[in-house]
Structure 1
Amino acid sequence: MDNEKYPQKKIDLFWKDFLLKTGRSESTEYLEVFHFELNEKLANELLHLVLIGQKKATASSLWSYQLEGEHLPEVGDLSIVTDWDGVPHCVIETTAVTILPFSEMTYDICKREGEDDTLESWREGHIRFYKGEGSQLGYEFSEDMPVVFEDFEVVYQI
């Protein structure tokens, strides 16, 4: 987590407010703090879709988790979603996790992301994302690349 992008004091205050307002234990922890996408425009657009209840899932490369040594999401995990500037806006809870090859993604699955009207547009956008992320992290996109498809629900938002 980039401390400049996600000022810890701001995140801590947001998390404490979440715990207080939802009656959760002070020992409750979050999995991660993140924003969607690789650029400001798309990151903020996808956050908006989450906040209005249209985006209820996300798809990540399994290879990115492995290369960064990150914990795979599990049902019940809580994460803080920010805008591009690192300002926290909501907490999501993972409700399901499915891992399957990119080539096996169907529109019935990917439409839960709330971003696209067709499988073709979903594929185009995600191939672009995975190629960009892969060039940063050191993996190469392929049709058989395992995708971690995570369903979630917003459990708190400001």
Structure 2
Amino acid sequence: MTTTEQPPQPENLPKAEFAFPGPLRDQLVAAVLGGSKTSTTGLVIDYEHEGEPLPEVGSRSVVVDSGERPVGIIEITGVRVVPLAEVDLAHALDEGEGYADVAAWRAGHERFWHSEGMRAALEDPGFTVDDTTPAVLERFRLVADLRGGAGRP
């Protein structure tokens, strides 16, 4: 950053919310801020339900913790839409959640996607995913750590 360039302003950015507020979000946000989480997975149906466009490379968003406090800013570096069956090991590992293989990644994500919270958010009590479900695979980088004024390049 040059001396004339202004730091990113979180109030001007959309929110990046990992999971729902609570222990899982806290774990995911810690992984983002710690640098071990550089990818995430969403579902096309979730974007459609919320009326939101799919993420775009170069866009930035503010990561919020379970208390909705801004704690970091991320920038999207890659976006792919693939059927769930085509999620690769590199993506699963880069999610930073400790998965050793794609099967473990899939099982963990299916628990979340089939949870009461996700089904309620989608307003579909019977929602399920399968191999053909379109997934949004995002890659990102942390561009600012907003905790206590600490910054990252």
Q: TM class by shorter-chain length?
A: 0.7 to 0.9
**Residue in structure 2 matched with residue 136 of structure 1 by the alignment:** 121
**Residue in structure 2 matched with residue 70 of structure 1 by the alignment:** 52
- Go from structure 1 to structure 2 and tell me whether the alpha carbon gap of 1:46 and 1:22 turns closer, same or farther (over 3 Å shift): farther
Q: Give the drift of 1:135.
A: 4.5
**Cα distance in 1 between the residues matched to 2:8 and 2:42:** 29
Unaligned runs of 5+ in 1: 1-19
**Residue in structure 1 matched with residue 25 of structure 2 by the alignment:** 43
**Cα distance in 2 between the residues matched to 1:153 and 1:90:** 10
**Cα distance in 2 between the residues matched to 1:94 and 1:127:** 24
Contact 1:61–1:146 at 8 Å: present in 2 too?
yes
Relative to total residues, which structure has the larger helix share, 1 or 2? 1
Count of aligned pairs between the two proteins: 137
Report the TM-score when normalising by structure 1. Answer: 0.78
Runs of 4+ in 1 over 3 A off after TM superposition: none
Contact 2:40–2:95 at 8 Å: present in 1 too?
yes
Unaligned runs of 5+ in 2: 147-153
Q: SS where residue 81 of structure 2 aligns?
A: strand
Contact 2:60–2:74 at 8 Å: present in 1 too?
yes
**Cα distance in 2 between the residues matched to 1:49 and 1:25:** 21
- Go from structure 1 to structure 2 and tell me whether the alpha carbon gap of 1:21 and 1:44 turns closer, same or farther (over 3 Å shift): farther
Contact 1:102–1:145 at 8 Å: present in 2 too?
yes
Q: Give the drift of 1:83.
A: 0.8
Q: Give the drift of 1:25.
A: 8.1
**Residue in structure 1 matched with residue 151 of structure 2 by the alignment:** none
**Cα distance in 1 between the residues matched to 2:75 and 2:105:** 23
Report the TM-score when normalising by structure 2. Answer: 0.80
**Residue in structure 2 matched with residue 153 of structure 1 by the alignment:** 141
Contact 1:29–1:78 at 8 Å: present in 2 too?
no
**Residue in structure 2 matched with residue 120 of structure 1 by the alignment:** 103
Pairing 1:97–2:92 present: no
Q: Percent identity?
A: 31
Q: Which residue identity lines up with residue 86 of structure 2 in the other structure? A: E
CA root-mean-square deviation: 2.3
Q: Which residue identity lines up with residue 70 of structure 2 in the other structure? A: P
Q: SS where residue 125 of structure 1 aligns?
A: helix
